Amino acid sequence: MSSPPFCLAGIVGWPVAHSRSPRLHNYWLDQYGLTGAYVQLSVAPGKLALALPGLAALGFRGCNITLPHKVDALALVDEVDANARRMGAMNTIVVQPDGSLKGFNNDGFGYIQSLLDAQPDWRADAGPITVLGAGGAARAVVLSLADRGAKEIRLLNRTDAKAQGLAAEFGAPVKALPWADRHAALADVAMLVNTTSQGMHGHPELELDLAALPKHALVSDVIYVPLETPLLAAARARGNPTVDGLGMLLNQARPAFHAWFGVMPQLTPELRRAVEATL
């Protein structure tokens, strides 16, 4: 009698010790009664091309990809799905039945889902959206908001040229504004998103005057350490609804687990608390 297949996946990064993904996926493996493991795969910069071809032979169903490999991985898999191609980065690899590797990016899905979890009637086309930052997280946020029908996305970044570059690459509805105008760029918005590293544990807080921000505007931060950034605390204090960054992390993991192991796992308050306890 053959035993059930071992469900094996992991996270490829450098460093990976801080990642919450093992906690999350191992929780689900246990919850759904699957025999397997989700492990840390510490792969040094420059070693990705040696590591990935071994995945299928070692019995992995796939892996997550994190810093610093998210962009390099695009050139090292057999196929890249359209979304990951547009985002210019990959966060998930799925080993195909023939052993080939296909890359995906679920960050945008995770982001939108985190908004809907917090506000089920949230809509991207409710009004202008201001996004701060133009790094990897901004790419996923901006593209997913545009895909959901956002009519106007004001993009501002400390290094203005990067915001201009992204706006030129993505086109309408994304338009770049100078970083110096970020306080005024909050007027009339339905939503404000921080994708910069400012406000993260160990970083200074974002320098932003919220005076022009409408009181009903949703304020979202992709940072999850701390769970309530100074930006979210200030927004909450003046009555704005807020969404923290943990939901994005938790939700991006769901389609990956589904692709590897055939079960779409659910987010429960208990799981969220278990991950929060590690922050």
Q: Mind telling me the catalytic residues?
A: 70
Question: Scanning the structure block, which residue is given the tokens 């005076």?
Answer: 211
- Gyration radius from the chain CA atoms: 19
Coil/strand/helix, residue 128: coil
Can you give the binding site for ligand ATR, defined by CB under 6 A? Answer: 133-138, 157-159, 162, 195-198
Report the sign of the C-alpha dihedral through residues 163, 167, 168, 169, in that order: positive
* Cα separation, 43 vs 28, whole angstroms: 24
In angstroms, what is the minimal distance from the CB of 197 to ligand ATR?
A: 4
In angstroms, what is the minimal distance from the CB of 156 to ligand ATR?
A: 9
Q: Which is nearer to ligand ATR, 76 or 208 (CB)?
A: 208
Q: Which is nearer to ligand ATR, 42 or 197 (CB)?
A: 197
What number of H helices and E strands is found in the chain?
A: 9, 12
In angstroms, what is the minimal distance from the CB of 216 to ligand ATR?
A: 26
CA-nearest of 40, 48, 5, 43 to 24 is 40
3-state DSSP: the chain helix, strand, coil percent, rounded to 5?
A: 40, 20, 45
Secondary structure string (H, E, C) spanning 30-59: HHCCCCEEEEEEECCCCCHHHHHHHCCCCC
* Cis geometry, peptide bond prior to residue 173 (ω within 30 degrees of 0): yes
In angstroms, what is the minimal distance from the CB of 133 to ligand ATR?
A: 4
In angstroms, what is the minimal distance from the CB of 230 to ligand ATR?
A: 13
Instruction: Outline where DSSP puts E strands in 206-269.
Output: 218-221, 242-243
Q: Which is nearer to ligand ATR, 91 or 242 (CB)?
A: 91
Contacts of 73 (CB under 8 A, 6+ apart): 48, 52, 65, 90, 93, 103
Contact 84, 111 (CB under 8 A): no
In angstroms, what is the minimal distance from the CB of 249 to ligand ATR?
A: 12
Q: How many CB atoms lie within 10 A of CB 8?
A: 21
Q: Which is nearer to ligand ATR, 124 or 134 (CB)?
A: 134
Q: Which is nearer to ligand ATR, 134 or 192 (CB)?
A: 134
Residue least distant from ligand ATR (Cβ)? 135
Q: Which is nearer to ligand ATR, 101 or 223 (CB)?
A: 223
